[in-house]
Amino acid sequence: MTKKISLVIVEDNELMLFGISSAMSNFEEIELIGTAENGQKGLEIINKLNPDVALVDIRMPKMNGIELTKALKESNSKTGVVIITSIEDDDWLYKAFLYGANAYTLKDINPAELFHTIKMVASGLTLIQPTVAKHVLQELQGQKKEKYQTNKMDKMDPLTERELGILTLIAKGYKNKQIADTAYITEGTVKIHINNILRKLGVTDRTQALIKAMENDLL
């Protein structure tokens, strides 16, 4: 029997909490084990229950979602964090990933896509909803883009066509095996390419690689 994905939802809006809880409970692979109406209570419940994934709102009383995420990661929690919000804000997105969020999505996401996001995060992946990432990164780049890009890209080794293809698959949430099957290469070769991508972009993980790639129009 396949192990279910344990989920905690932290949301201060009672109606939204009920709606998300009901929608996710319809998926047999998910087991909703707890809910909380503010960040402080959410942190306590997550630390107590150690769910696979926590679905966390941003703007909440007592402790916001970013502060909750930061506290979890500082305690070396293994729980994956999905930030779900109605706010398209560059500062929130930047801070969410800076402090360890595994995914960031908007509340207008449909249940099937949200389930997919939760499932991917539970498997250890980090996801950025493309519509969110593109919108926010355009704001982040702004007038500073040309100066930043000129300074950084001049020092950066260009990615090969193969590396760009693998980076695109990573952005879609593919695991190493899926990338290997799609590109007709071995998982060992995939790992080598990913290490080269991280080195060339000057980052240490996939999330940073995706952000850096989008900042430099590589995706």
Residues 6+ apart with CB under 8 A from 113: 105
Residues 6+ apart with CB under 8 A from 59: 12, 65, 85, 87
pLDDT for the residue numbered 147: 47
| For range 159-186, the mean pLDDT | 90
Count of CA atoms in the C-beta half-sphere (13 A) of 72 = 38
Lowest mean pLDDT among 46-55, 85-94, 162-171: 85-94
pTM summary value: 0.63
210 and 128 Cβ atoms separated by less than 8 Å: yes
- Tell me the domains of the chain and their CATH numbers: 5-124 (3.40.50.2300), 144-215 (1.10.10.10)
Provide, rounded to the nearest whole percent, the portion of the chain with pLDDT above 70: 85
Q: What is the pLDDT of residues 40-70, one digit of tens each?
A: 999 999 999 999 999 999 998 889 999 999 9
pLDDT for the residue numbered 176: 92
Cα 106–Cα 99–Cα 14 angle in degrees, nearest 5: 40
